[in-house]
Structure 1
Amino acid sequence: IFHRIIRGFMIQGGDPTGTGRGGAETKIKGEFASNGVNNRLSHRRGVVSMARTQIPDSASSQFFICHGDSLFLDGEYAAFGRVVHGMDVVDYIADLETDRSDFPDIPPVMEKVFFVVKEDV
């Protein structure tokens, strides 16, 4: 599900518990400039990036899709892809009603996700 929605900023999912507090036991090294990795993918509308805590190497299963340009995240979060089809769905999700914690009243469920390699785009 997408458990965190902030219109104009991002929609976040990938937590197997659906609470926003879960994730995989294995952590992923943060691939961004402040962690010593040259990642040139900028956090523009439609970019997919790893969610994490304040600890740079704490990403696991959670990710977010930028609903709007969020360039202040560049160099601090690991962007790794972008939405190539379906930004209308991202817009629809971003417009859902949420509570004060940005949790949607009716959490949208991801039913299908497709990965496309750059050569196929």
Structure 2
Amino acid sequence: MSGAGKKVAEVAVKASRTIDWDGMAKLIVSDEARREFASLRRAFDEVNTTLQTKFSQEPEPINWEYYRKGIGSRLVDMYKEAYESVEIPKYVDTVTPQYKPKFEALVRTIMKLFIDW
């Protein structure tokens, strides 16, 4: 798995543990808001499940011998060499550290408004 994909899956798992869905649901008073909240939670769960399953698995290794039998060694070796020479740069997140404190402060403010309401 790529570093970025793995990181996204880990963040999604951590986020699903830290969200107090039941606590937020208790703060909702209208039926329309409950429907919207349920829709938000379903969407979050679907995305979270996709991230956990799709990006948490290593890709199957290429069976180069299988292709050598059908295509020939010379061409397969050429492709294998090209494939192995590809370097995918690691994603370095420079945005999250900058905005995470602002986001957390906003969430605290919104939760305080709900509680005081």
Per the normalisation by structure 1, the TM-score is 0.20
Structure with the higher helix share, 1 or 2: 2
Q: Which has the higher contact order (CA 8 A, sep 6+)?
A: 2
Per the normalisation by structure 2, the TM-score is 0.20
Larger radius of gyration: 2
Structure with the higher strand share, 1 or 2: 1
